[in-house]
Chains A and B, each alone.
Chain A
């Protein structure tokens, strides 16, 4: 007997159902195809990104250097400088976009993202403290991660009142975020300007100076978290039908919410820890993904991740090369994302 049995889903065009003895999975292959196309684009863009810079390298040269051929100078530039940065942009963009997608589904509100409900503020306070007091910068990601995780816990605990209400979660998050920002503001005036400046830069969110250590850390963490996030998407879909329906489908509501919140926060925390709070990726990319690929599902979640990677990589290229001064990537995501997002905000409210 075959372990898996593929069949075209009779009701939904564009889907196939994968059955095994224990689970049946309906796969939206159209969206997976989208994801594949986006991945190819991503590869091309990433390669192109590595050709740019003060030391310009032809396309073919980059490809060669990545696999370890070509002259040593090129090898150094590509493999120690450009490749880690590009990979970091891709991974962080994917993590942010998926995190935003989960949050938006969870609270059934398209205007929510980890930066709105205070997670980034928590990472920010810890990181700014770390920077201005002059601790070892190698441990900065750990500090930021701790801040994000503690904040997420505080928000969860303070929102709990016999259960988690999505709207209460938003408001509690906004409150916590405001308190943490007050702390960050205090630190920023308490210390001399030359110590504060790097902290302000960090708060803009940038992936400047990423190295292989960052890449390893990111890859390791995301390899664990991202599959869990994709696997939990079906619970998110059930939750979106409303609490009553979800419960009657047999979903343990609060446990599902906890799992989703933890995975979304973990994704956001990893991204923020390494790059600082890069705005608007988590907020905006899920919208574009939904617009292109339709309502949330496991496949759409993957597609969202790839789109996030594309978006952040593109933004980082603009931040690095397109302008006379090299800016933190967060400035570009803000500037590019904002006008589009204001429009979306309006439209989104119409639909909610």
Chain B
């Protein structure tokens, strides 16, 4: 990619080839810093909890596994899957959020707000109740179908009328659809005490108690989808200039939109299947990232991936610490941190129109 097709703000304002190079270097350095942050939060996630495990045992548990050590068994069987799933789900949801925000040109786009997560949840609970499915590898496909269906309904509804899908129209259609699907989901749950007991832990959104085997089933979609998204930064840059400009620049906007939407649905469906509906990671992360690196999606996407992983895993660690001896579920923490962010955005920006 040559420097001439970098269209976005920061670069051109500073001007000059030297400063541009400096900017790239500093952004790459930031990326490295974030990578270090991911490692740090992963170590925290492995070590911190109702049982605090020393760094040495964490290291041994990962690389010189000794089955007789209780601490190392905890690392291997509980903390490691939890950490890996947290990192992947966080990164995936953040990338999905950033992609959605670019495709819909809507700062509020996010899998949970737009009803995609509730679509997946509803489909999965339905499958669990009616078909008696029990493992994620079985209900994963229902998660995809539900996510896809909900995304289509919300987009269809919000796109109707003058002015296309405005932030408020999208958010409202998403919330209304979510509340509808939520009502159906709880009705199903109520019919059966066992389903309630299982589903309530899953519906709150958590990365605890999932095995790595579960993760491997969803990983191709979750991680694969996120990685493909990372390569679409340039396309998203052009798309965020608006449809007309993008088309004038020779982009097939419909095709890119479709591709991005499919990726978002895959990522969300996979994330919900493994961790339940965890909200606000996809909303808050891209905004935080944009405040740091500016609006260039070639940087926003990889930064979002790392920041999202840190956000969700960090939320998981915080949830383990604050409510000892019990735990605050990851979905609870992200909502408590992320929802104020939505309020902040609503107060800051001219989203009103």
Residues on A lying within 8 angstroms of B by beta carbon are 109, 111-112, 115-116, 158-159, 161, 165-168, 170-172, 174-179, 181-183, 185-186, 188-190, 193, 196-197, 200-201, 203-204, 279-280, 283, 325, 327-328, 330-331, 334-335, 338, 341-342, 345-347, 349-352
Contact = CB atoms under 8 A, between A and B. Distances in A.
30 contacts: A111-B172, A170-B168, A171-B345, A171-B346, A172-B346, A174-B113, A175-B346, A176-B343, A182-B331, A182-B335, A186-B204, A188-B204, A189-B329, A193-B193, A193-B197, A196-B200, A203-B186, A280-B183, A328-B187, A330-B183, A331-B190, A334-B180, A338-B184, A342-B153, A342-B157, A342-B177, A346-B160, A347-B160, A350-B160, A352-B161
A158 B347 contact: yes
Interface of B: 108, 112-113, 153, 156-158, 160-162, 168-169, 171-173, 175-177, 179-180, 183-184, 186-187, 189-191, 193, 196-197, 200-201, 203-205, 279-280, 326, 328-329, 331-332, 335-336, 338-343, 345-347, 351-353
Contacts of B203: 185
Contacts of A190: 326
Contacts of A351: 161
Contact of A171 (B153, B161, B336, B343): B343
Contacts of B329: 185-186, 189
Main SS at interface, chain B: helix
A346 B196 contact: no
Contact of B172 (A158, A170, A186): A170
B342 A200 contact: no
Nearest to A205: B183
A334 B336 contact: no
Given A174-B175, A189-B200, A350-B161, A279 B183 contact: yes
A185 B352 contact: no
Contacts of B179: 115-116, 279
A204 B183 contact: yes
B332 A158 contact: no
Contacts of A161: 347
A185 B345 CA distance: 24
Given A331-B183, A335-B184, A350-B161, A178 B279 contact: yes
Given A116-B179, A177-B175, 8 more contacts: A167-B168, A172-B347, A175-B340, A175-B341, A176-B343, A179-B335, A193-B193, A327-B187
Nearest to B326: A190
A309 B173 CA distance: 26
B176 A111 contact: yes
Contact of B352 (A168, A183, A349): A168
A-B pairs with lowest CB-CB distance, top 6? A182-B335, A171-B346, A334-B183, A175-B342, A185-B204, A167-B352
A327 B158 CA distance: 32
A349 B201 contact: no
A300 B341 CA distance: 39
B274 to A, nearest CB: 17
A335 B184 CA distance: 8
Contacts of A204: 183, 186-187, 190
A201 B190 contact: yes
A168 B196 contact: no
A345 to B, nearest CB: 5
B187 to A, nearest CB: 4
A197 B193 contact: yes
A188 B353 CA distance: 37
Contacts of B351: 167-168, 171
B346 A193 contact: no
A342 B160 CA distance: 12
Contacts of A158: 343, 347
A175 B201 contact: no
A171 B348 CA distance: 12
A338 B180 contact: yes
A138 B197 CA distance: 27
Contacts of A188: 200, 204
Contacts of A331: 183, 187, 190
Contacts of A347: 160
B320 to A, nearest CB: 14
